[in-house]
Amino acid sequence: MKSISIVLKSSNFFIPVLYLYDININRTKRAIFNKIKTSPSFFKNMPVILNVEQLSQKVDWINMKAAILSTGLFISGVNGCYNNQLKNLIVLSGLPIFPNKKKIINAVNIVNKNNKKIVKIPLLPINNTHIVNYPVRSGQKIYIPHSDLIVTNNVSTGAELISDGHIHIYGVMRGRVLAGANGDITKKIFCTQLFAELISIAGEYWIIEQIPSKYIGKITEISLKNGLINIKNLN
């Protein structure tokens, strides 16, 4: 009997999308560094998909790619490329191009010089609930597409929960928790003990240093209000 060397399986992974709007390499690099500074541990060695739909063919792609890699991000591929000349440059640079109609789970926004951002994410209805009864350990990542997520145990530091729907945690909530990952701003996070490293709703996020101390360790509801993270006590 031959031993098995590899097994190829389908799976769901959360990969943020970096939308690029500016062909100026220095401005783009500076904007990425500013974003990383807000949460260095969250962005460290993060894989991203680049959306280049708003870039013109005049972009110096080779140097743009090198500049993005120099920030510490890893480029998994490119999406939104409709220009054949740019597409050829991307392929020659060694990056895959994802189909333009492929649904991307989330977006990290880079603003242009007019401070405008464009996020085009289709929202699919949430019609299911996934329940996790075991502790979520450090290093574990759980992504639940098109579904609410309920965790009836503790979430450790270094763990990550991602759901397109609401997230409920009936235990100590540490680690990173991201609800509304498909861009749905109506989704919420509910927890019985808030100690999270990072909380996020539809791409807007706070790291633990931004969470007011009066909510730490408390039963809370986390939502978006006027595009900003909002926390309130439930007890």
133 occurs within a structural domain: yes
114 occurs within a structural domain: no
Number of domains in the chain: 2
79 occurs within a structural domain: yes
CATH code at position 23: 3.30.70.260
- Is residue 35 domain-shared with residue 78, that is, in the same domain? yes
141 occurs within a structural domain: yes
121 occurs within a structural domain: no
**Better pLDDT: 14 or 225:** 225
Full domain range(s) for residue 180: 129-233
8 occurs within a structural domain: no
Q: Report the range of poorest mean pLDDT among 109-123, 146-160, 175-189, 202-216.
A: 109-123
- Is residue 64 domain-shared with residue 139, that is, in the same domain? no
pLDDT tens column, 189-224: 999 999 999 999 988 888 888 999 999 999 999 999
Main-chain dihedrals φ then ψ at residue 29, nearest 5 degrees: -60, -45
CATH code at position 181: 2.160.20.70
pLDDT tens column, 48-63: 889 898 887 788 999 9
- Is residue 134 domain-shared with residue 99, that is, in the same domain? no
116 occurs within a structural domain: no
